[in-house]
Amino acid sequence: MVRPFTLGRLADVIRLTRVFQGITSDHVEEAMMVTRDRAVELLKQAEEMRLIKPDGFLYYSTSLGNAFFEALKNDDRMRLDDVLSGYAPYNTIKNILSRRSANIAELKKMTGLTEVATEIVLRLLQYVHDDFCSVNEEFFLRAKELPNLAEFLSSTRRAYQELNNYTQWGCSKDFVRLDKIAGYVCQELRLSADDFSRLLNEALKSSSFLEVHSEVVGYQFLPFAPRKLNSTSYRRCYIRLRE
């Protein structure tokens, strides 16, 4: 099975073309200490991204490949994003994740890409964009503006009701784990964990029906104190919505 490549590996291909002024799979195999099949896969991926081009028996870097290499070397993520936007799969997945969350299977279906190609783009986005988020194997780019409190509370209520209605062995779930709620809401509204904490703390100040409790002690749920929450405490806390 083909494995996805890192940015460093793609950059090394460009580096070799610049050092040798033209390379074959033999150069890649020897310099990177990979198998011949892996070397061929790397060249194929770099060519598909238009970072290199074949000419006879040799591969040479393109102007796009040189721009990619320099942007990566200088950690210029804005320039790198501009360069990668010329690669259609990158642009397509970036646009999808700017509107909604999606998992790899959904992205494959929407784009027609293979799993490897999809994972490569996700790795590129993760490096380039600080607002790239992953929750429960769902990926998205963080919303540029936070939702208002009413939208946040509506999403929280939907998450609570969905999780609360699901019972195991007849056991009710009036108290739902906060990390479960956070995962649902973050995916729906494209929020980071810090965004969720900020909005939840605001909601606790103004919403009488929303309660957050600490982890179980014996058979009792104790009110959470202090009332300022962060993502590290999610797994030890539970939400309850009063009607």
Residue 85: which CATH number?
A: 1.10.10.10
> In the prediction, which pLDDT does 204 show?
86
Co-location of 122 and 181 in the same domain: no
- Contact call for residues 135 and 148 (beta carbons, < 8 A): no
Residue 64: which domain range? 7-141
> In the prediction, which pLDDT does 224 show?
38
> In the prediction, which pLDDT does 20 show?
93
Co-location of 131 and 210 in the same domain: no
Co-location of 36 and 106 in the same domain: yes
Co-location of 130 and 211 in the same domain: no
Question: Which among 84, 86, 142, 91 is positioned nearest to 113, based on CA atoms?
Answer: 91
Tokens of 237: 């806390």
Q: How confident is the model at residue 209 (pLDDT cuts 50, 70, 90)?
A: confident
> Residue 169: pLDDT above 70?
no
- Contact call for residues 44 and 92 (beta carbons, < 8 A): no
Q: What average pLDDT does the chain have?
A: 85
Question: Which among 211, 198, 204, 199 is positioned nearest to 237, based on CA atoms?
Answer: 211
CA-to-CA dists, residue 95 to 91, 107, 187, 202, angstroms: 6, 11, 16, 30
Is 2 part of any domain?
no
> Residue 90: pLDDT above 80?
yes
| Cβ burial 56-68 (10 Å sphere, 16+ → b, else e) | eeebbbbebbebb
Q: What is the mean pLDDT of residues 79-83?
A: 93
> In the prediction, which pLDDT does 163 show?
83
Co-location of 170 and 236 in the same domain: yes
Q: How confident is the model at residue 174 (pLDDT cuts 50, 70, 90)?
A: confident
Is 1 part of any domain?
no
> In the prediction, which pLDDT does 220 show?
40
> In the prediction, which pLDDT does 213 show?
79
> In the prediction, which pLDDT does 193 show?
87
Question: E-assigned strands of the chain?
Answer: 52-55, 58-61, 132-135, 138-141, 176-177, 210-217, 220-223, 237-241
Co-location of 220 and 160 in the same domain: yes
Residue where one domain finishes, among candidates 141, 164, 183: 141
What sign for the dihedral angle of Cα 131, 135, 137, 143? negative
Co-location of 163 and 131 in the same domain: no
Co-location of 15 and 135 in the same domain: yes
How many domains does the chain divide into? 2
Angle between helix axes 88-97 and 115-128 (nearest 10 degrees) is: 70
Helix (H) or strand (E) run with residue 39 in it: helix 36-48
Q: How confident is the model at residue 222 (pLDDT cuts 50, 70, 90)?
A: very low
Percent of the chain with pLDDT over 70: 87
| Most confidently predicted of 49-63, 202-216, 220-234 | 49-63
